[in-house]
């Protein structure tokens, strides 16, 4: 979720989620600010360490220093690390 935002209903990642779901790939969302266990029938996690351990691929809107240790499996549109 975008920093400072209280929801991600209009986030650009939703289109990506739709395509991944249509391909039959299991999705897990990491969202530390969400207090519900599911979003649109997708499991939501708030433990980043556990999320990184169980994820094969991480799709992120933006790069984060918190993903540095798993950068080999992070795919993002943020190719310059600034947006």
The count of other CB atoms within 10 Å of the CB of residue 43 is: 11
Q: Is 1 part of a structural domain of the chain? A: no
Residue-wise pLDDT tens digits, 13-62: 788 889 999 999 999 999 999 889 999 999 999 999 999 999 999 998 88
Q: Is 37 part of a structural domain of the chain? A: yes
As separate numbers, helices (DSSP H) first and strands (DSSP E) second, the chain gives 2, 5
What is the number of residues in the chain? 83
Q: How many domains does the structure of the chain reveal?
A: 1
Phi–psi pair at 68, nearest 5 degrees: -55, -40
Give the domain extent around 72. Answer: 13-76
pTM of this structure:
0.77
């Amino acid at each position: 979720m975008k920093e400072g935002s209280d929801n991600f209903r209009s986030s650009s990642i939703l289109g990506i989620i739709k395509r991944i779901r249509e391909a039959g790939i299991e999705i897990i969302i990491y969202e530390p600010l969400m207090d519900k266990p599911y979003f649109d029938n997708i499991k939501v996690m708030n433990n980043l360490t556990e999320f990184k351990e169980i994820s094969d691929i991480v799709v992120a809107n933006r790069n984060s220093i918190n993903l540095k240790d798993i950068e080999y499996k992070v795919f993002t549109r943020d190719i310059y690390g600034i947006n």
